[in-house]
């Protein structure tokens, strides 16, 4: 199976549209927004069954490089993502975790995150990198500057050739062993397709730092971000500037929780259904319905299972109740 391009299945689209139309007609009679969302999720959501054990492998000796980028608003949630990753990588591999942060992430918070890594996996490490000021003049609408932190990685990690990046609103159900030795060739970035036409989601990426530096793509990002205002600043920018230079990853690396409804299901290759359903690597709580805001929605329980492993659990639980 070649992932250079995921074709779009029109017959699936037709079936999903009809189904969607019928569910939406029924929803028209439901006055409460909360129940409308539940009904839509029940009938239209693509369901996964994470948690199946992976094949046993010998432990990888070299740690895998992985980055996050966040400010205070996402620090604790990123802790949950890190907890899920380390819990699911036990005796398989370790990570060098790099966090691009600003001074809103206090020394106490950094200590808590470092303590979390130390308790869950002795062999993994965490390093905090201060965000640079390069994107300060970039256009970003109402988005926080934090969305640009992932794009700073080529500048902040000059010694690395490749880096995996993940958002903070995710849960890992598997380790990232398969991506550790990814050969990106001349592709600038690897990601999961979100829309027909090859548009990727920027919540999970592999960045070819060496190639990006060689072609001065970082400078292109800076220049473009100051000149053009996008609806999704970092994501649209990546898609525009890396067009035709994207390596497509299987959907299991970035399962968008509320996304595989209606036409997006047309993006799942029939042969990929089993793998996606049972071997999901990463689950992305993308969009507005975050599990730390509400426990009403699909797969929130999985997020809270890992939240329990962090020192932020009581805090987040208290916030949820109020």
Binding footprint of Mn ion on the chain (CB under 5 A) = 167, 169, 203, 286
* DSSP letter, residue 36: H
Nearer to Mn ion, 94 or 307 (CB): 307
Distance CA 167, CA 160 (A): 20
Q: How far is the CB of 15 from Mn ion (least distance, A)?
A: 29
Nearer to Mn ion, 24 or 144 (CB): 144
Q: How far is the CB of 273 from Mn ion (least distance, A)?
A: 24
Q: How far is the CB of 81 from Mn ion (least distance, A)?
A: 10
Nearer to Mn ion, 7 or 288 (CB): 288
Dihedrals phi, psi of 81, to nearest 5 degrees: -60, -45
Q: How far is the CB of 304 from Mn ion (least distance, A)?
A: 18
Dihedrals phi, psi of 172, to nearest 5 degrees: -95, 130
Which residue in the shown chain puts its C-beta closest to Mn ion? 167
Distance CA 4, CA 136 (A): 34
Nearer to Mn ion, 121 or 167 (CB): 167
Nearer to Mn ion, 69 or 121 (CB): 69
Q: How far is the CB of 70 from Mn ion (least distance, A)?
A: 10
Q: Which of 181, 179, 177, 192 has the alpha carbon at shortest distance from 54?
A: 177
Neighbouring C-alpha atoms within 13 Å toward the C-beta of 98: 23
Distance CA 197, CA 244 (A): 11
Nearer to Mn ion, 203 or 250 (CB): 203
Is 123 in contact with 94 (CB distance < 8 Å)? Answer: yes
63's tokens: 């740690």
With both helix axes pointing from N to C terminus, report the angle between 10-27 and 33-44 in degrees, rounded to the nearest 10. 150
Q: How far is the CB of 55 from Mn ion (least distance, A)?
A: 29
Is 222 in contact with 135 (CB distance < 8 Å)? Answer: yes
């Amino acid at each position: 199976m070649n992932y250079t391009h995921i074709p779009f299945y029109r017959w699936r689209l037709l079936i999903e549209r009809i189904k969607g139309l019928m569910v939406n007609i029924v929803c028209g009679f439901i006055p409460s927004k909360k129940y409308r969302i539940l009904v839509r999720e029940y009938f239209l959501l693509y369901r996964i069954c994470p948690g199946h054990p992976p094949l046993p492998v010998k432990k990888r000796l070299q740690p895998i490089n992985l980055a996050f980028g966040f400010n205070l608003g996402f620090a604790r949630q990123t802790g949950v993502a890190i907890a899920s990753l380390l819990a699911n990588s036990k005796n398989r591999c370790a990570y060098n975790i790099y966090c691009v942060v600003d001074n809103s992430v206090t020394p106490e918070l950094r200590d808590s995150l470092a303590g979390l890594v130390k308790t869950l996996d002795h062999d993994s490490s965490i390093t905090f990198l201060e965000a640079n000021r390069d994107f300060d003049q970039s256009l970003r609408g109402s988005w926080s500057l934090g969305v640009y932190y992932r794009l700073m990685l080529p500048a902040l990690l000059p010694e690395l050739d490749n880096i995996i990046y993940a958002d903070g609103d995710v849960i890992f159900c598997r380790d990232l062993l398969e991506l550790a030795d990814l050969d990106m060739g001349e592709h600038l970035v690897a990601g999961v397709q979100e829309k027909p036409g090859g548009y990727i989601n920027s919540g999970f990426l592999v960045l070819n730092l060496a190639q990006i530096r060689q072609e001065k793509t970082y400078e292109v990002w800076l220049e473009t971000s100051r000149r053009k205002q996008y609806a999704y600043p970092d994501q649209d920018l990546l898609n525009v500037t890396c067009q035709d230079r994207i390596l497509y990853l299987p959907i299991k690396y970035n399962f968008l929780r509320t996304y595989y409804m209606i036409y997006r299901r047309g993006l799942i290759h029939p042969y990929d259904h089993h793998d996606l359903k049972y071997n999901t690597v990463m689950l992305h709580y993308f969009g507005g319905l975050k599990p730390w805001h509400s426990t009403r929605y699909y797969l929130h329980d999985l997020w809270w299972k890992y939240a329990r492993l962090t020192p932020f659990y009581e805090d987040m639980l208290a916030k949820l109740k109020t």
